[in-house]
Structure formats: C-alpha cells, structure tokens
Amino acid sequence: MTYLRTWPNGTPEAAPVLLCLPQAGASALQFQDWQRRLGSRAMVCAVQLPGREDRWGEPAPSGIAEVVGAVVAELADAGLLGRPLVVFGDSLGGLIAYEVARAVGPSALVVCVCRAPVHWARQGGLREDDVERLASASVAGSDLPPELAAELRDIAAEVLRRDAALSATFREVPGAEPLRCPVYAWGALADETVTPAQLDDWRAVTTGPLHRHDFDGGHRVSREDPGALLGRLSHVLADLAEEEPS
C-alpha cells in the first residue's frame, strides 16, 4: 500500500503541492477537507502511515528513515518534486516533515505544535504518559456510550504506541547541512505539550527566516479549529506563488 493520498479536484498543474503529515495517532483523512477548503490554491497530498484506516493490518515501518524514503520516492514517481512544495507537519508529523524537507529541499517547511528536532533527540520520542494523555483526548467530550468510548480509546492508544516507537528512531545528524527555506513554527496558546521556547529552537534548522505564530486553542488545534491555521497556510501558499517566475 502506498503512503500518499490525494483528492483530485481539478487543481491546476502549476499549483503548489501541500504535503501534509498528521499528528501521532491521526490519519491522512483529515486533510481531505483541507483540499476542499483550499481549492485551486494547492494540491493537497497527505501521508498515511501504516497501522490506521486502510493500512490497519500493515506492519510498522522500521523507522523514520524508511517512511521518508518511501514518501520521497512516491513524490518523485508522481512528478511532484518538480512543483513548488510546502511540507506541513503536525506534532510528530512535524518531525517527519523536517526529515522529508532535508531530503527534498522544499519551498517552505511548516510545523505546528511540534518541538524542534533538538528536543526530540533529547527526549527520545513520545513517552507513555504522552500516549495516555493523547488517547484520552481523542474521545474527550464525545457523546459515545462509555463502553464504546473506552474501546475507541484503547484503539487510539495502540496506534499511538506504534507512533511513539517510530518517533524514538529519530536521530540528529551531527554537522547536517541546514535547510535553506523559510520555516514556519506555529504553536497553540493552550498547548500543555510544546513550549514557546521549544518552537523558537526551530531557528537552528535553517539559514532561511523563521516565522513564529501562536493560535488560540490546544494541541489538537489543527483538527478542532482548522480555519485559522488554513488561513495562515493560504498566506504561505500565496507568498510562494508570488515568488515563482511567471
């Protein structure tokens, strides 16, 4: 099964590609609505990791390097590396997005509620308390019967533990060449997981500019209230279009 998911809607071939990597435990499906909202401004292309939705029965990848290699190969096979490319990653997706950006040299890297790579290296990936908290948050506030909510929470925890193991494979490369593109590091004011200082440290990964912004909301801001985030992404895409030669 392939990693990339798209929802063709007549987007012009010259439009930028927005490659999206979801939070731990999440899937590519959330980005289908982003394609509808963004319309012709971008071709949304999302990454579906094994172990969820249509890839439920597939074995976990050996590490982030395997995921990045597969995603880059599929982008190349689809002819998408010759187009303006914005790589977006949400939380753990931001860490993988950074590794993809190192491999392909995109027009821009956008990370949301994701601590800078140096902090992932120090922490060693998602911890069990992160898994438990995120699994509980996935069903918080639902109107589901308690038994069903508990079952769905357990499923979420299973997927999150797979993603935690994946995050633990990240290693900083000493002396790695920095990115040259702009990096947008976005946080959420009520996020109890990622601090402003951990977002500020994205400054170290690029020779290009770092753009910081904090949204209202918490760690799940991209799913609970994506409107403001998509507004910011629209500006990134518009700036990119203006920079492209006519």
How much is the pLDDT for 244?
Answer: 58
Separation CA 50–CA 63 (nearest Å): 12
CB–CB of 112/94 below 8 Å? yes
**CA angle at 202 for the pair 107 and 97, rounded to the nearest 5°:** 50
Q: Which of 212, 236, 222, 206 is nearest to 86 (CA)?
A: 236
- Which SS3 state, helix, strand or coil, does residue 151 take? helix
Separation CA 246–CA 243 (nearest Å): 9
Q: What is the mean pLDDT of the chain?
A: 92
User: 187-219, pLDDT tens digit by residue?
Assistant: 999 998 899 999 999 999 999 999 999 999 999
User: 87-110, pLDDT tens digit by residue?
Assistant: 999 999 999 999 999 999 999 999
Strand partners, 213: 186
235 pLDDT band (50/70/90 cuts)?
A: very high
CB–CB of 242/50 below 8 Å? no
Which pair of tokens denotes residue 148?
């069903």
- Which SS3 state, helix, strand or coil, does residue 112 take? strand
Judge whether residue 246 has pLDDT over 70: no
Q: What is the dihedral of CA 77, 79, 80, 82, to 10 degrees?
A: 130
How much is the pLDDT for 193?
Answer: 87
How much is the pLDDT for 139?
Answer: 79
- Which SS3 state, helix, strand or coil, does residue 31 take? helix
User: 49-89, pLDDT tens digit by residue?
Assistant: 999 999 999 999 999 999 999 999 999 999 999 899 999 99
Cβ-proximal residues to 152 (8 Å cutoff; 6+ apart), any chain: 138, 139, 144
Judge whether residue 245 has pLDDT over 60: no
